[in-house]
Amino acid sequence: MTTWISSKSLRDFAEIKKLFQANSGDRSYGENLSVRDHMLQTASILRQAAAPDAWVIAGLLHDIGWQLGGESHEEAGARFSYTYFGAKVAEPIRLHVNAKRWLVANEAGYEASLSTTSRATLALQGGAFNQVESQSFAAHPYFDAAICLRRADDQAKVIGLQSPGFDTYRETLLKAMVT
């Protein structure tokens, strides 16, 4: 069965790919691997875990906000992703930092398992949630997606690991685009 793909979707895919491959994606963000390699590892982990396509895409784009600059990377990345994929991709991206804050507050040993960089940024991101914040976050409709993304994000820091490239996600991205 042939799926019809609009020229707008193809242009959107090209725009996303261009930003993903921008030189700023080559820089390290403190984990001794590039932002781009980290995002590819995250998406690969989620795909291998048979996560829903929207979660895989969120993994692929969760740190794209670092290439956009300005506000917090999770807000910039969510705004960018919402344009192309809607809330199913954008919300886990927006919430992946708060998922770390929730996990620190609610899962014994989680903070100690974080990389040095993730522990250092935790304070800048507001630290562990208090009880009220934890309850509110756990009630969010994208809570499960955000926690799953966060766990993959934490694992996706393997220096030198070769992950499938961006183009291996082409069909997944095109199928998920809002038209």
**What is the CATH classification number for the domain harbouring 94?**
1.10.3210.10
Examine residue 60 and state whether it is found in any structural domain, yes or no.
yes
Indicate the average pLDDT of the chain: 93
Examine residue 135 and state whether it is found in any structural domain, yes or no.
yes
The number of distinct structural domains making up the chain is 1
Tell whether pTM > 0.85: yes
pLDDT in tens, 51-64: 999 999 999 999 99
Supply the pLDDT for residue 26.
74
Q: How many CB atoms lie within 10 A of CB 42?
A: 28
Examine residue 41 and state whether it is found in any structural domain, yes or no.
yes
Residues 6+ apart with CB under 8 A from 66: 24, 25, 27, 29, 35, 73, 77
Examine residue 2 and state whether it is found in any structural domain, yes or no.
no
Examine residue 62 and state whether it is found in any structural domain, yes or no.
yes
Q: Does pLDDT of 50 surpass 50?
A: yes
Confidence band for 1, pLDDT divided at 50, 70 and 90: very low
Supply the pLDDT for residue 25.
65
pLDDT in tens, 82-105: 999 999 999 999 999 999 999 999
Examine residue 136 and state whether it is found in any structural domain, yes or no.
yes
Examine residue 77 and state whether it is found in any structural domain, yes or no.
yes
Q: Does pLDDT of 132 surpass 80?
A: yes
Examine residue 1 and state whether it is found in any structural domain, yes or no.
no
User: Residue 42's domain spans which residues?
Assistant: 7-176
